[in-house]
Amino acid sequence: MERTRLPLLEPESDLGSTEDAEAAVREFMTANRITTVRIQAPDMDGLLRGKRIPVDYFCNSVAFKGSNIANILFGWDMVDELLDNLTYTGWHTGYPDVTLLPDLSTMRVVPWEPGTAMVTCDITALDGTPVAISPREVLKRVIRRAESSGFAPMAAYEFEFYVFEGSPKELADRNWRDPQPITHGSRTYSLYRGTGTEFLIGEIRQTLHDCGIDIEASNSEHGPGQFEVNIHYADALAAADQASILKSAVKEIAAQHGYTASFMAKVNQAWAGSSGHVHQSLSTLDGEPAFANAADSDRLSPVGEQYVAGLLDLASAMTALYCPTVNSYKRIGGGSWAGSSSTWGRDNRTVALRAITSTGPPARVENRIPGADANPYLVIAANLASGLYGIEQALTPPAAVTGNAYEDPEAKNNLLPGSLKAATDALRGSAAARDLLGEDFVDHFALTRDWEIRQFGRAVTDWETARYLEMI
């Protein structure tokens, strides 16, 4: 299949006139037999929210003017419960409109939904001013900061997720009790075990390729019914767009087959957690890899090491973005292949930051702290902002950890926040995070986490009933 993005409307293209752009959009719709366009943008939790628009109305109006939507997008949680502690919006503001403004460079066909295209949108006020707390806008601001410093950021996501038997409705009807994974036992990298699920994972791989998202590899992972999918690197904004689409696509395609896919960080105490590792690097604006070290293939460049130092210095402040749910902290306990301390090492998978050294473009840093449950836009923004901070402050990283970081005494002295409350407090109190990500965003995001913590505090869990019901 031919690539199905809108090639004439890439960001670097110059169409010369609105008429040319309108013609390009219509040509794309006709060539791909599009009848419906999904306009979408990420909410604070990274869920894609939006509308389906008939193609004629999209071409005549929405493509260039946008479509209004209630700012309740940032006024409720992931299950649409209204937050009662916000300043940005609420009953006190009446939930007024904002605008979903399509970024036409992101236009692509939705192969798993025939006759449909999708486009990722920026969120603006009605006067066209970007909404400062919008996750995509937060990332774009950090990217502009990188570019003003002479760097072009690149990123690539690795996602782990579980697949369970039964549709989301069937599992919900059972109150999500005892979900059965699509496979049993631990068969990491098993080609034999992978054959039995290739009807689904193979379709996911090919379908994402057909809509312009290159998948480098997929494999069975450590948990029963757990898989990993690796996305090819792209510029930072495109990487976040693609990661967001992948999460939605995996869930939608699984549901079409009667299964439920989950990016929850820790679905079962006995099973491996699901990560969302981010590989990242910088290049100069003329394309030279900034992390490459031509003089020493075993070390990152000085810029690369400063970037690592910034990631380490702000790791605790950014943990709430990397691990945004109460459940996230069940995953990053020590010894679980997840970064749990402010540590780094060279090709070491027990540390938070794994440096992959090279004399050329492969030189990069992998952040192993984020879970699959995190918002990709905010994760990449937090990584890039932290790394830029390290460069701007000319920071020097501590000695790299060799061996098992989970048993390293220095690592144990640099543990990350162990709960969502501790992480939220660290974010709220970080002057650097406020400068890098924006005061309004940090305040709003922290309030949404306060709400999440309160909801968990009110819940009666299975653990409580099993422990207390009979004996007390």
pLDDT at 105: 93
Q: For domain 142-464, give its CATH number from 3.30.590.10, 3.10.20.30, 3.30.565.10, 3.90.180.10.
A: 3.30.590.10
What contacts 144, CB < 8 A, 6 or more positions away? none
Q: What's the confidence (pLDDT) of residue 410?
A: 84
Q: Is it the case that residue 2 has pLDDT exceeding 70?
A: no
CA distance 232 to 249: 16
Domain spanning 7-127: which CATH class is it, in words?
alpha beta
Exposure string (b/e) for 58-84, b if CB count within 10 Å is 16 or more? Answer: bbeebbeebbebebbbbbbbeeeeebe
Cβ neighbors of 389 (< 8 A, separation 6 or more) are 310, 313, 314, 395, 432, 436
Query: What is the token pair recorded at 275?
Result: 């990560």
- The Cα 304–Cα 198 span in angstroms is 38
Dihedral sign from CA coordinates of 58, 61, 67, 68: negative
**How many angstroms separate the CA atoms of 347 and 341, rounded?**
16
pLDDT average, residue stretch 373-384 = 98
3-class SS of residue 427: helix
**Which range scores top for mean pLDDT: 187-196, 294-303, 403-412?**
294-303
| Three-class DSSP category at 355 | strand
Instruction: Spell out the alpha helix ranges (H) of 32-99.
Output: 55-57, 63-65
pLDDT at residue 159 in the model: 97
pLDDT in tens, 328-350: 999 997 667 788 899 999 999 99
Distance between CA atoms of residues 58 and 41, nearest Å: 16
What pLDDT was estimated at residue 337?
A: 77
Question: ∠ CA 347-349-351 to the nearest 5 degrees?
Answer: 100
96-152, pLDDT tens digit by residue? 999 999 999 999 999 999 999 999 999 999 999 999 999 999 999 999 999 999 999
Q: Which two tokens stand for residue 326?
A: 């109460």
pLDDT bracket for residue 50 (50, 70, 90): very high
Q: Whole-angstrom Cα distance, residue 57 to residue 54?
A: 6
Tell me what pLDDT residue 18 has: 75
Per-residue confidence (pLDDT) for residue 339, from 0 to 100? 85
Using DSSP's 3-state secondary structure scheme, residue 34 falls into coil
Query: Cα(259)–Cα(374) distance, rounded to whole angstroms?
Result: 22
The predicted structure's pLDDT at residue 17: 63
| Cα–Cα–Cα angle for 16, 19, 23, rounded to 5 degrees | 105
pLDDT at 11: 45
Tokens of 1: 């299949």
3-class DSSP state of 333: coil
- The type of residue at 82 is L
Q: What is the pLDDT of residue 21?
A: 85
Question: What mean pLDDT is predicted for residues 5-17?
Answer: 49
Mean pLDDT over all residues of the chain?
Answer: 94
The pLDDT of residue 20: 82
- pTM across the whole model: 0.95
> For residue 205, what are its two tokens?
């791989």
Above pLDDT 70, what percent of the chain? Answer: 96
CA 407, 413, 416, 417 dihedral sign is positive
Instruction: Summarize the confidence of residues 354-365 as an average pLDDT.
Output: 95
Kindly state the helix (H) or strand (E) to which residue 424 belongs, with its residue range.
Answer: helix 420-428
Average pLDDT, integer, range 42-67 = 97
pLDDT at residue number 12:
44
pLDDT at 7 over 50: no
Q: Is the model's pLDDT at 1 over the cut of 70?
A: no
Beta strands 116-124 and 36-42, pairing class: parallel
pLDDT for 413: 87
- Three-state secondary-structure class, residue 20: helix
Position 16 pLDDT exceeds 90: no
pLDDT digits (tens, 9 = 90+) for 165-198: 999 999 999 999 999 999 998 889 889 888 999 9
Average pLDDT over residues 418-440: 98
pLDDT at residue 261 is higher than 90:
yes
Structural contact between residues 34 and 28, judged by C-beta atoms closer than 8 angstroms: yes
Q: Is the pLDDT of residue 351 over 80?
A: yes
pLDDT category at 411 given cuts 50, 70, 90 is confident
Go through the chain and tell me how many residues it has.
Answer: 472
Chain center to CA of 259 = 22
DSSP classification of residue 84: S
Query: What residue segments make up the domains of the chain, in order of their start?
Result: 7-127, 142-464
Sign of CA dihedral 353, 356, 358, 362: negative
Give the integer Cα–Cα distance in Å for 156 and 229.
Answer: 11
Distance of CA 256 to the CA centre of its chain: 23
For residues 391 and 310, the answer to whether their CB atoms sit within 8 Å is yes
d(CA 261, CA 238): 23
